[in-house]
Structure 1
Amino acid sequence: MAKQYWLFKAEPHIYGIDHLAAAPDKIGRWDGIRNYQARNFLRDQVKLGDEVFIYHSSCKNVGIVGTAKIIKTAYPDPTQFDPESDYYDPKSNRENPRWVSVDIQLTKIFTRLIPLAELKSHPALENMVLIKQSRLSTQPVSAQEWSTIHSLLK
């Protein structure tokens, strides 16, 4: 199967690119996803080696800040079982967990943030899921969109 591309949204005060950069081997668990469509992407479509844009949201400077790659595919998100976690789900159980996590490894921190306004203004990105369905935390990115966004850094 061909490599796929994704955009993962993060709130940088909770877990952003700086947290990932500071982690051992720049590896982190992408967890806490509590949207069924985003969960289905993580569970059913995200594959080993896929590439990911890291997007900071719910902050002063919203936009794409870097890239990562998938190094471990979907497995039960441990936060759903932890009553102390903000992501605890009392309706989930270990025999049939509702939520999944993936592990990612940081590959690049961009020299500049690519703001949402810039992405919205680019004609080649007008059909991007980020533009059409902005609240989705895990979303596909086409190969053409991936390339276009990288060209904005030059």
Structure 2
Amino acid sequence: MAYWLMKSEPDVYSIDDLIAKPGPDIWEGCRNYTVRNYMRDTMQVGDGALFYHSNASPSGVVGSMIIARTGYPDPTQFDPTSEYYDPKAPADGSRWLAVDVAEPVKFDRVLSLADLRAEPELAEMWVLRRGQRLSVMPVTEAEWDRIHRMVGQTPRRSAS
């Protein structure tokens, strides 16, 4: 089982939006080759993911979820009305991928960047690195566990 941190601006897609869905929902619109490669090569069904609200007041980890479907062609790359449309995307959909996420759990409080930085066990976390702009990044099991303990929750584990 692997762990991830996935960023979204809450006015675009929030943890509350995911909670309102009756089942899994698509995580779309990632336009970075490193993120695409994670979705294609590394993410697996049952992996854990931290939901991070970016460009918010405060920005931070707001909950967790699981990966419910591995990488598949992101349909927004073919939709000319979408802000994620890519006229150069090949017909096989291999340029940009999406995953499905499910089983959201909203934390009782936001773990802000300041909260994360103040925690010595999280000092090496990718999201805290200067210049880190990826919208999806790996999280270690120790980081996953520590974040859940910070909000008084038992770390989630894959059922598989």
TM-score of the aligned structures, taking structure 1 as reference length: 0.94
* CA drift at 1:43: 1.2
What is the aligned counterpart of 2:139 among 138, 141, 150?
141
Q: Which residue of 2 aligns with 1:116?
A: 113
**Aligned pairs for 1:1-154 within 5 A:** 3-25=1-23, 27-132=24-129, 133-154=131-152
- Cα distance change of structure 1 residues 96 and 71 upon mapping to structure 2, 3 Å threshold: closer
CA RMSD of aligned residues (A): 1.1
Q: When you count helix as a share of all residues, which structure comes out higher?
A: 1
SS at 2:107 equivalent: strand
User: Letter of the aligned partner of 1:98 in structure 2?
Assistant: R
CA contact (8 A) 1:64 1:113 kept: yes
Aligned residues: 151
Question: Structure 2 regions of 5+ residues with no counterpart?
Answer: 153-160
User: Letter of the aligned partner of 1:115 in structure 2?
Assistant: S
SS at 1:117 equivalent: helix
User: Letter of the aligned partner of 2:151 in structure 1?
Assistant: L
For each residue in 1:46-82, what CA deviation from the matched residue of structure 2 results, as whole angstroms up to 9, or x when unmatched? Answer: 1010000000001222100011101110000000000
**After TM superposition, which residue ranges in structure 1, 4 or more long, deviate above 2 angstroms?**
none
- Cα distance change of structure 1 residues 96 and 104 upon mapping to structure 2, 3 Å threshold: closer
* CA drift at 1:38: 1.2
* CA drift at 1:150: 1.0
User: Letter of the aligned partner of 2:17 in structure 1?
Assistant: H
CA contact (8 A) 1:81 1:93 kept: no
Question: Structure 1 regions of 5+ residues with no counterpart?
Answer: none
User: Letter of the aligned partner of 1:15 in structure 2?
Assistant: Y
* CA drift at 1:124: 1.1
Q: What is the aligned-residue identity percentage?
A: 44
TM-score of the aligned structures, taking structure 2 as reference length: 0.90
* CA drift at 1:95: 2.3
Structure 1 distance, partners of 2:12, 2:142, is: 30
* CA drift at 1:28: 1.1
Structure 2 distance, partners of 1:101, 1:83, is: 17
